[in-house]
Amino acid sequence: MLILGLDPGLGTTGWGVIRADGNRLSHVANGQIRTDPSMQLPRRLALLFGALGEVIRTERPDGAAVEEVLGNSNAQSTLKLGQARGVVLLSASTAGLAIGEYHPSIVKKAVVGTGGADKKQIQAMVGHLLPGVKLSGPDAADALAVAITHAHHLASAQARARRSTGIGA
């Protein structure tokens, strides 16, 4: 299964694609989509939508996972981040992808083992879990961490389903 992880941002949206085969994970691709802060908001959102559509057409994922937004003290920044996240969700949904959504602390705990991990720890663990990965930047690393989290959650759900039906027990 190919999973597209997305770390929404108006200035930079990270994306990463992994292949999940049971508990085996491998890196497929990753990148960052940047928008120019001098452009008007509607244009930036349209560019983000178009670029994500191209990533989805090129990589052909089976599903997607998106990090949830944390608010901050600047309401305007939080609102713009929420609008970018809406575009990210719309892009994946329009492509017909099932979407998992994860709080940042869940992603950190799934990848690093603690919900308070910093960006350097996430990057290090992504490199460990996906040997040979060349990261396009910290937002791409975060997106790959979201994809890894989704893969773990899917594997756990499948294992629970097998146990409850007695298949493979």
Q: What CA–CA distances, in Å, run from 82 to 13, 77, 104, 151?
A: 12, 9, 14, 24
- Measured at the CA of 17, the angle between CA 13 and CA 19, to 5 degrees, comes to 165
41-61 burial: b if 16+ Cβ within 10 Å, else e: eeebbebbbebbeebbeebeb
Residue type, 29: A
Report whether 62 belongs to an annotated binding site: no
Residue type, 20: A
Report whether 67 belongs to an annotated binding site: yes
Residues taking part in catalysis: 7, 67, 139
Rg of the chain over all Cα atoms, to the nearest angstrom: 16
Report whether 21 belongs to an annotated binding site: no
For residue 121, is it left (φ>0), alpha (ψ between -120 and 50) or beta? alpha
Q: Residues annotated as binding site for Mg(2+)? A: 7, 67, 139
Q: Residues annotated as binding site? A: 7, 67, 139
